[in-house]
Chain A
Amino acid sequence: MRPSARSLNESERYCVRSLIFIDMPETRAKLLQSLSPRVGQNVKTGESRARLGNLMPSATTTGKPLRKGAPIDWTKVVLNGAMPLAGVLAALAIAGIFLALLKVDPLTAYKSLVDGALGSTFGLTQTLVKATPLLLVGLGICIAFRANVINIGAEGQIIMGALAGAALPLSMPGLPGFVLVPLACIGGFAAGAFWGFIPGILKARLRVNEILSTIMMNAIALQFMNFLLQGPLMDPENVRRGTFLAQSARLPKEVWLPRLVPQTLLHSGLFIAIILAVVVYIFLWRTTIGYQIRAVGLSPDASGYAGIDVRANIALSMTLAGGFAGLAGVIEVIGVQHRLLEGLTSGYGFTGIVAALLGGLHPIGLIPASVVFGGLLVGADKMQRAVQIPSSLVTAILGMIVLFVSGAGIWAKSWAAKRLAGRPQGTEATK
């Protein structure tokens, strides 16, 4: 079967050609319909994809009608789901050898790991508590990665967010929670965003490598927080008692996020993070801004020709990435710690990158990925205590997981390419 445009006669085709340049969909559809019912049908959206089957002569000859909607790409499902998980398992297997070398029974060790992460209400909730900042940080990393920008600066951005999230409620006590919580969140987001904007604009304007600049921004943020905690922000109670702990006063109770399970640290920030994951998904794939960010990440040349402001989008993606990291900082302060203190970031800024990679740089994939990493962090703690291994080995295991997961990703991609390139069935037998 030939494409139906060919079934029109010469003058009709000419007419149709000029018609498509009319910028009035309704009129055009009507005109097309009157010209040829077959063409008219297509212009209405409903039957669009089914009709495309006829457009492709070869598709009909295979006898396989095209599926409605985007076909499920199984290679992609495997790529994004099973492969990273296999990577985690492989990493644990290799790490098991190290454990055995240290005369630790790997099975006992891993049992305590799983036990720690999932075995008790507290472990389970703790897993989710750690997953929350990872998810938030990871969302920002996803956005930046889509614009082809690598944000190593989440640590510093978390700190700046936490600073704002603590300083704002402390400076205006007495306000009700429904004012204080949004205020802290917005303030923290803005502070983190500002910390992301600086390397973003440096990259966009002066082509400063974002990896270097964000690492330096991390150092600045850390020292800035230390300075504030030793001085202006230090808990007055502390000063009076002369303990001089590097931490701020407790935040007013109004700003604390409600706890979800009594006697645990699990707080409602988890919901905020999950809702934001959906929002980021919609943002990246349904909005003009997300479309531009992805376009810039994939091809700055084509984006430029399309009138997309490449520099602005690079700066924007870093700003948003910083904002989400900042929000992670606020949520950590008002949800878990209830004050600002040293070591608040717990490396979430780096682990979040890995979680984002494990989640296939996809906001929705990031949800399970951050839970997995939350669980690993909690379980590793327990494992370390249970079998007495150095904490550096735990770090090594996490590092190994990263290595294997990204390796599995690359392997899966080449496997998918090979699968497309050809199944060997039949050709072998003909020899």
Chain B
Amino acid sequence: MTAAREAVRPKTGRVEMRDIVKRFPGVLANSGVCFDVVPGEVHALLGENGAGKSTLMRQLYGMYRPDSGQIIVDGTVRNFRSPADAIAAGIGMIHQHFMLVPTMTVAQNVALGLPSGRGPFTDTKGVSKEVTRLGNEYGLKVDPDAFVWQLSVGEQQRVEIIKALYRGAGLVILDEPTAVLTPQEVEDLFTTFRTMLTEGHSLIFISHKLYEVKAISDRVTVLRDGQVVGSGRTCDLSQQDLVHMMVGREVKDPDPRPHTPGPELVKMQGLKAMGDRGLEALRGIDLSIRSGEILGLAGVSGNGQKELAECLAGMRKLSSGKLLVEGHDMTNATVNERFDRGMAFIPEERMRDGAIREFTVGENVFLHDHMSKRFRRWIFLSFDRMREHALSLVELFSVKTPSLEVPIKNLSGGNIQKLIMARELSRDPFFLVAAQPTRGVDIGASEYIHDSLLAQREKGMAILLISEDLDELRGLSDRIAVMYEGGIIGIVDRGSSTVEELGFMMAGVTLEQMRKDGASTGKACP
């Protein structure tokens, strides 16, 4: 145990990557990238979806080997054959998609693959103690004896960080760690980062949110099409500079044209449903959405947004309540009946629920519509039509893919998201439920998705926009409903409420209480 204890001290010196080239079939993912990190700093890595950020980091972590180029740790050239080598050199990585075993406890996950302090026997107690200690030291609170499947995404991420620290990582690579976190969790994560920095750790931080990069990083490097297009100290670069380097043009904030929504299209009456853990997750939701209206749904994650989205998609049973779409009762409709009524869904867990990883890009494009007349003749799939449709989606949403025949899992995370988004919008629904539509998507593509949503709104679509990004909600929504503990705590009109007020409602304070207490002078959210 003491040996493992010693290893916790950061010991990684300067890490440098020189002229890294990495090819995949049909794709040059990195071409001559130079990158370095010194102890005690945060180096942010920026770039559009598919720019090659994850690929570059996976090489540093020993998952891929560069085709050419060098990785130098503390002055010596290293040739990592596997992540184990990288871990031994003091490098840890938190992946875009977590890699924990859900049926094991936190402590078991942390100790997984490491020699035990008690020879052939597991040393759960010792590990638990160490996990608690690391948690206290770095502000990563998590119960070492809880099972991973019981944890929220934010908690799982803390486990991943503890895992890296436990293995003695001096340099920790974080691939889009904030994409799945609530603003509060991001704040906590940054506090942890600061503690780690004072202890002499160094961090590589990947994010698509520029204000986060500005807030936490010391230096920033921008990748585009596998090449470094800019690099420098964060304080010397404005957000506009960064945007320019990333996408080569200005990006504007969403600007919905004022227009009057049409008749009421969707009506939810007293929706109730159970959650995964047998507790009531929805406690009577009453909402209505009009044609041509974007209704934003705010709330700290875990307050029932996920369950509501699943109920609307027909993937979770309602225990009571009624759902009306254009006056038709859709409460117990099958998924296909919902499609036929013009409903479409962009699920939150898009990698799991929105695409089939082993299917090709083309096959994924008609996942929801392969039974429509358009894509089939009798029982035969029409690959010509599919290809034509897939091409227009790929072209118009700038999805980066070497061809339509590669498995979709080979695409970068953001490009998968974009393709799913494109597919759902192209189905021309009347009613769209979009859960976190821009999570993990780069700025240029976010702008594009926002524009698409607004264009659909003008065409009369009813949109339920579920998001944890308050700026996104405030920029796009005609009205914002706030969820708290399975119910709607308040609904505000566009522009009539401040970020603070929304924040208070998300914490369970109703508008009336707020007005009464004059509490709207609370702490401003970033």
Report whether A71 and B25 are in contact in the complex, using a CB–CB cutoff of 8 Å: yes
Q: Is A364 an interface residue (CB 8 A)?
A: no
Given contacts A42-B395, A45-B387, contact A70 B335 (CB under 8 A): no
Given the complex of chains A and B, what is the CA–CA distance between A265 and B276 in angstroms?
60
Given the complex of chains A and B, what is the CA–CA distance between A39 and B391 in angstroms?
10
Given the complex of chains A and B, what is the CA–CA distance between A302 and B315 in angstroms?
11
Q: How far is the CB of A177 from chain B (nearest CB, A)?
A: 30
Q: Is A66 an interface residue (CB 8 A)?
A: yes
Selecting from B7-15, B63-71, B260-268, B294-302, the interface stretch reads B63-71
Q: Is B226 an interface residue (CB 8 A)?
A: yes
> Which residues of A266-308 are within 8 A (CB) of B?
286-289, 291-292, 294-295, 298-299, 301-307
> Which residues of A33-55 are within 8 A (CB) of B?
39, 42-45, 48-49, 52, 55
Given the complex of chains A and B, what is the CA–CA distance between A18 and B451 in angstroms?
10
Q: How far is the CB of B162 from chain A (nearest CB, A)?
A: 27
Q: Is B232 an interface residue (CB 8 A)?
A: no
Closest-by-CB residue of B relative to A8 is B396
Selecting from A207-215, A330-338, A423-431, the interface stretch reads A423-431
Q: How far is the CB of B83 from chain A (nearest CB, A)?
A: 11
Indicate the size class of the contact surface on chain B. 35 or more
Given contacts A14-B455, A66-B402, A431-B77, contact A59 B28 (CB under 8 A): yes
Q: Is A97 an interface residue (CB 8 A)?
A: no
- Which of B63, B315, B338 meets A421, CB within 8 Å? B63
Q: Which residues of A contact B23 (CB under 8 A)?
A: 62
Q: Which residues of B contact A55 (CB under 8 A)?
A: 394-395, 400-401
Q: How far is the CB of B62 from chain A (nearest CB, A)?
A: 9
Given contacts A21-B428, A430-B77, contact A423 B65 (CB under 8 A): yes
- Which of B66, B355, B370, B379 meets A422, CB within 8 Å? B66
Report whether B391 and A56 are in contact in the complex, using a CB–CB cutoff of 8 Å: no
Given the complex of chains A and B, what is the CA–CA distance between A295 and B352 in angstroms?
12
Given the complex of chains A and B, what is the CA–CA distance between A59 and B381 in angstroms?
29
Q: Which residues of B contact A57 (CB under 8 A)?
A: 225
Q: Is A4 an interface residue (CB 8 A)?
A: yes
Closest-by-CB residue of B relative to A22 is B428
Report whether A301 and B353 are in contact in the complex, using a CB–CB cutoff of 8 Å: yes
Report whether A301 and B66 are in contact in the complex, using a CB–CB cutoff of 8 Å: no
Q: How far is the CB of A9 from chain B (nearest CB, A)?
A: 12
Q: Is A5 an interface residue (CB 8 A)?
A: yes
Given the complex of chains A and B, what is the CA–CA distance between A286 and B24 in angstroms?
28
Given the complex of chains A and B, what is the CA–CA distance between A62 and B394 in angstroms?
21
Q: Can you identify 30 A-B contacts, CB atoms within 8 angstroms? A: A3-B395, A5-B396, A5-B398, A18-B455, A18-B459, A20-B396, A21-B459, A23-B428, A25-B385, A28-B392, A43-B392, A44-B388, A56-B401, A57-B225, A58-B29, A70-B403, A286-B380, A287-B379, A288-B381, A289-B379, A291-B370, A291-B381, A294-B359, A298-B358, A301-B349, A302-B354, A302-B367, A305-B354, A305-B368, A428-B79
Q: Which residues of B contact A (CB under 8 A)?
A: 22-29, 31, 59, 63-70, 77, 79, 225-226, 248, 313, 315, 334-336, 338-339, 345, 347, 349, 352-359, 363, 367-368, 370-371, 374, 376, 379-381, 384-385, 387-389, 391-396, 398, 400-405, 425-426, 428, 451-452, 455-456, 459
A-B residue pairs, 3 tightest by C-beta: A422-B65, A307-B335, A58-B28
